[in-house]
Amino acid sequence: MDTQGLQYLAMAIAMGLGALGPGLGIGILAGKALEAIGRNPEATSKIQTVMILAIVFAEAIAIYSLVIALIIRFV
């Protein structure tokens, strides 16, 4: 296998594994937030604010894996 093929494989693994965790985390987070809102509708704004903040932090992990994949490709 040539070097370029290994780079593409490494990129795919880095991005795939790097997006798996945040994807699962965001899914669980949204489900639990909706469950909490269903139990206490008056706290919707507080729950929603914290949920969006947590989603942003989880997405940052996926962006880091994208940066690593791009570094693998172009360096």
CATH of the domain at 20: 1.20.20.10
- The per-residue pLDDT for range 11-60, each reduced to its tens digit, is 999 999 999 999 999 999 999 999 999 999 999 999 999 999 999 999 99
pLDDT band at 1 (very low <50, low <70, confident <90, very high): low
- 29: Cβ contacts below 8 Å, ≥ 6 apart: 51, 54, 55, 58
Is the pTM above the cut of 0.85? no
Q: Which domain holds residue 70?
A: 3-74
Helix H, strand E, coil C: the string for the chain is CCHHHHHHHHHHHHHHHHHHHHHHHHHHHHHHHHHHHHHCHHHHHHHHHHHHHHHHHHHHHHHHHHHHHHHHHHC
pLDDT band at 3 (very low <50, low <70, confident <90, very high): confident
Q: How many of the other CB atoms lie within 10 Å of CB of 2?
A: 7
Domain count, the chain: 1
